[in-house]
């Protein structure tokens, strides 16, 4: 089995190998470590930070890929706590879209009939809720992360 990112061969199942079939993208084929971008060209995809393409641009693959995930600097709330009703439901509707920030706080938003809510659950289990002003059906939460921080 050969790793697309390094070209080195290793035993199948070795950690950090980028393997798999390519996917068409415009006039190119995106191999592991890349994905098709919005403009129809291959772009780097995690765990890779760069890409390399053949001279004719017909095939691209990931470069500068992380083979090991760095140890975490914090721990998120426990799975048991994140599954408690006050974080997931907290009323007539349920939470959607789970995100984490660099301090390992967990965030969800609701899609319910009526006002929506943004909920933050800290690693120690403390819950903070922000009320929405109307029935927006927020549907997703986006958390700004520090460049090079815990999650990216």
Q: Within a domain: residue 148?
A: no
Q: What would the pLDDT profile of 20-70 be if each residue is shown by its tens digit? A: 889 999 999 999 889 999 999 999 998 888 999 999 989 998 888 877 666
Which residues span the domain enclosing 91?
Answer: 79-131
Q: What share of the chain is helix, strand, coil (3-state, %, to 5)?
A: 5, 35, 60
Same domain as 113, residue 86:
yes
Q: Within a domain: residue 139?
A: no
Same domain as 41, residue 64:
yes
Q: What would the pLDDT profile of 86-103 be if each residue is shown by its tens digit? A: 888 765 557 888 899 888
Q: Within a domain: residue 49?
A: yes
């Amino acid at each position: 089995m050969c790793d697309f990112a390094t070209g080195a061969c290793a035993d199948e199942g070795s950690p950090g190998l980028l393997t798999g079939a390519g996917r068409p993208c415009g006039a190119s084929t995106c191999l592991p470590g890349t994905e098709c971008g919005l403009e129809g060209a291959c772009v780097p995809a995690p765990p890779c930070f760069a890409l390399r393409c053949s001279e004719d641009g017909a095939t691209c693959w990931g470069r500068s890929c992380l083979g090991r995930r760095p140890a975490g600097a914090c721990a998120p709330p426990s799975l048991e706590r994140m599954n408690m009703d006050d974080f997931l439901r907290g009323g007539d509707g349920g939470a959607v879209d789970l995100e984490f920030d660099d301090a390992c706080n967990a965030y969800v938003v609701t899609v319910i009939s009526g006002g929506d809510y943004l909920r933050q659950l800290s690693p120690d289990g403390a819950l903070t809720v922000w009320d929405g002003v109307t029935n927006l059906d927020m549907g997703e939460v986006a958390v700004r992360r520090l460049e090079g921080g815990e999650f990216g």
